[in-house]
Amino acid sequence: MSTDATPDATAPESSPTALRSLVPTDLLERPSGCPFDPAPGLAARRGGGAVQPLELLNGARAFLVTGFDEAREVLADARFSNDRVRYRDATQLQPHEVAEMAAAAERGEPVRPAAVDRTDGMFIFMDPPEHTRIRRLLQGQFTVRRMRALESRMTEIAGEHIDAMLAAGPGADLVPAYALPLPSQMICELLGVDYDDRATFQDNTTTMLSSRSSDAERARAGGELYAFIAALVAGKRARPADDLLSGLVHDAEQPLTDAQLIDVALVLLGAGHETTANMLALGTYALLQNPEQLAALRENPALIDDAVEELLRYLSIIQLGVSRIATETVTVGGVQIPAGATVVVGTPETNRDDRRLSAPDALDLHRGRSPHLAFGHGVHQCIGQQLARVEMTVGFGLLFSRIPDLRLAVPAEQVPLRNDMLIFGVHSLPVTWG
């Protein structure tokens, strides 16, 4: 569950979709022969420095950060902004504006934020202090009581779906049968969303995440999703219940506006099912393709916590990564980044920094809990990471214990990859047993 990579129906022009459209495809698309490794163009940059220039397709010059320590530095430094309303990043520039911004940087001119009233709900595109207030309210709703109840409820949900798979099998597509419904049902229950309405947010989120969607299709999906959440917020105002969204509506000392509540719900609902669903499916695929690692997990179920952390490091499903805007000239990794420059944190590569890890391209469940940036770092670090960890721990653990002979039902090269999506994974994962 990662808020940095979640589409927002109210998002400004700059977005993960816009960034993806301007990045060379060899930095994004993974071949079927090695779907768990970073894209070839990204891996080819190893040895070129922890911070490197990145030429975008609109002619703008950005910077790509592939070093782990340098990425943490960028994500923790307040001089790198995530505010896409006050600051324009490279994806918002027309070709004729690229030269103007470059000339301003050469003259050493500071970046002047736009004078805007930040009362809208786009908290993932805010910097402190506005971002801090809304994030603190969210943290207050992720209570200890709710977190303690997650594991037992998740076990029930996972068990029900495995029972259904076994009853209908042998054979299933693991994505719709297991990987997608687990986090979808969990986030629905946490937010107080009727699970029968899941198709509304699942289908529209998929449209918004797909690079194949037209602007019109993405706008339609965003509008439908926004209307769905607006009706949900109105319902919570009128009829509060014991759920996270009702708490945000009624418990805040400084009430949130409808726009802010809608945005928060959009982020949590989208991030709460898309990212974890893809980790469950892709992680299962990775374990099936690494039988010695899967055997180690089956022989020692106590490895599951380390297995989850290693899969998060190894797979890095957030395609290229997240971006920030330098509000002043900053030196990172010995490279001067001028004010106004867009910086892209290449998460798949930062999680395989060989300065910190031995054999970083290997899946090794005995590695121990190596640090990773799957949940980000700094003030925008994923607020739902504990939920995601519980879902993966229970999801992987129960799946492989209940179906010990689980295996792919098709050749590995026939598994369709999500190269067309902002969040990487598999579109389907045909499996069988028995």
Name the average pLDDT for the chain: 86
Sign of the CA dihedral with 256 first, then 4, 20, and 388 last: negative
Please state the rounded mean pLDDT for residues 138-155. 79
pLDDT attached to residue 340: 87
Cβ–Cβ under 8 Å, residues 200 and 228: yes
What single-letter amino acid sits at 322?
V
Q: What ranges make up the beta strands (E) of 293-417? A: 321-326, 330-332, 335-337, 342-346, 407-408
Return the CATH superfamily for domain 3-418: Cytochrome P450 (1.10.630.10)
Length of the chain: 434
Radius of gyration of the chain (CA): 21
| pLDDT one-digit tens code per residue, 75-123 | 999 999 998 778 877 776 666 666 666 677 677 776 766 655 555 556 7
CB atoms within 10 A of CB 394: 23
Higher pLDDT, 200 or 285: 285
What single-letter amino acid sits at 267?
V
Report whether pLDDT(338) > 70. Answer: yes
Higher pLDDT, 202 or 395: 395
pLDDT attached to residue 244: 87
pLDDT attached to residue 410: 97
The domain segmentation of the chain, as residue ranges, is: 3-418
pLDDT attached to residue 88: 75
Greatest distance between any 2 Cα atoms in the chain? 69
Cβ–Cβ under 8 Å, residues 400 and 297: yes
Cβ–Cβ under 8 Å, residues 254 and 134: no
Q: How confident is the model at residue 9 (pLDDT cuts 50, 70, 90)?
A: very low
What single-letter amino acid sits at 306?
D
Q: According to the per-residue pLDDT averaged within each range, which of 204-213, 257-266, 391-400 is highest?
A: 391-400
pLDDT attached to residue 235: 93
pLDDT attached to residue 17: 64
Residues 372 and 353: their CA atoms lie apart, in Å, by 10
Residues 71 and 298: their CA atoms lie apart, in Å, by 34
Please state the rounded mean pLDDT for residues 369-389. 89
Residues 81 and 340: their CA atoms lie apart, in Å, by 10
DSSP state of 417: B
| pLDDT one-digit tens code per residue, 303-334 | 999 999 999 999 989 888 889 999 999 999 99
**Kind and range of the H or E element at 149?**
helix 144-168
Q: Which residues contact 279 (CB under 8 A, 6 or more apart)?
A: 311, 312, 315, 317, 388, 392, 425
Residue 49 Ramachandran class (φ > 0 left, ψ -120 to 50 alpha, else beta): left
| pLDDT one-digit tens code per residue, 219-262 | 898 888 889 889 999 999 999 998 888 988 888 778 888 888 88
pLDDT attached to residue 4: 44
Residues 260 and 71: their CA atoms lie apart, in Å, by 29
Which residue pairs, CB below 8 angstroms and at least 24 apart, start in 409-417? 409/171, 412/32, 412/289, 413/32, 413/33, 415/32, 415/35, 415/285, 417/30, 417/32, 417/35
Bridge partners of 292, per DSSP, are: none
Residues 286 and 376: their CA atoms lie apart, in Å, by 22
- What are the strands of the beta sheet with 172-173, ordered from one edge? 172-173, 430-432, 407-408
